[in-house]
């Protein structure tokens, strides 16, 4: 797996992630458990949020990449913790910690985003009051990833006063039936 990660790093360093109307490959990398339902809902939500952006998304799982594959535009999205709702899991503490983040190297945005699934689950449980389900978690994951992709695609660290690009999204923002 280490050669694949090194290849991805080299590939991503040379790939330009601009806002042209082209395909963007998102490579999904999970370090914990995840449900197919939460991942499917995340993809659906992100596709919906980006439908007017001119960017067509394609999805790949890092475990299924073949040596030598290349992509014209790529973002590696890493998911930490358990990306599935578990009814008996205790909520985590840690107010104010980020639910997701993108990366900067030498002052420039690079095509790597992280989503902290354990924190997202805890935020949904402690703030929303309901245990939630994998669809709810997937919707939240999609909105968090959309926020981070905006930073990466537009090469910006700035936030907006409204919408999905606010610095902090409430649990209601993450799960509302409407798209932000």
What are the distances in angstroms from CA 173 to CA 115, 133, 141, 158, 177?
A: 16, 16, 12, 19, 9
Say how far apart CA 86 and CA 97 lie, in whole Å. Answer: 21
Domains and CATH numbers, the chain: 2-175 (3.40.390)
Low-confidence ranges of the chain (pLDDT < 70): 1-21, 87-95, 126-131, 178-180
Instruction: At 179, list the tokens.
Output: 């798209």
Say how far apart CA 139 and CA 101 lie, in whole Å. Answer: 17
pLDDT digits (tens, 9 = 90+) for 154-174: 999 998 888 888 888 888 888
What are the distances in angstroms from CA 93 to CA 41, 56, 86, 97?
A: 26, 37, 16, 9
Instruction: At 76, list the tokens.
Output: 């590696």
Predicted TM-score (pTM) of the model is 0.82
pLDDT digits (tens, 9 = 90+) for 90-103: 555 556 789 999 99
**Placement of tokens 């008996």 in the chain:** 88
Task: Note the Cα 131 to chain centre separation in Å.
Answer: 21
């Amino acid at each position: 797996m280490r050669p694949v990660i090194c290849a991805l790093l080299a590939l991503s360093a040379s790939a330009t992630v601009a806002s042209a109307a082209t395909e963007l490959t998102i490579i999904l990398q999970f370090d914990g458990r995840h449900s197919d339902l939460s991942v499917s809902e995340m993809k659906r939500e992100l596709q919906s949020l980006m439908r007017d952006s001119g960017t067509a998304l394609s999805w790949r799982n890092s475990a299924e990449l073949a040596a030598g594959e290349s992509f014209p535009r790529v973002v590696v999205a890493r998911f930490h913790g358990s990306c599935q709702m578990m009814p008996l899991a205790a909520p985590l503490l840690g107010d104010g910690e980020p639910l997701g983040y993108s990366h900067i190297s030498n002052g420039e945005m690079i095509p790597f985003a992280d989503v902290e699934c354990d924190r997202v689950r805890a935020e949904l449980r402690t703030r929303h009051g309901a245990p939630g389900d994998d669809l709810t978690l997937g919707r939240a994951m999609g909105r968090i990833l959309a926020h981070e992709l905006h930073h990466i695609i537009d090469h910006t660290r700035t936030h907006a006063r409204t919408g999905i690009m606010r610095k902090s999204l409430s649990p209601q923002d993450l799960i509302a039936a409407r798209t932000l």
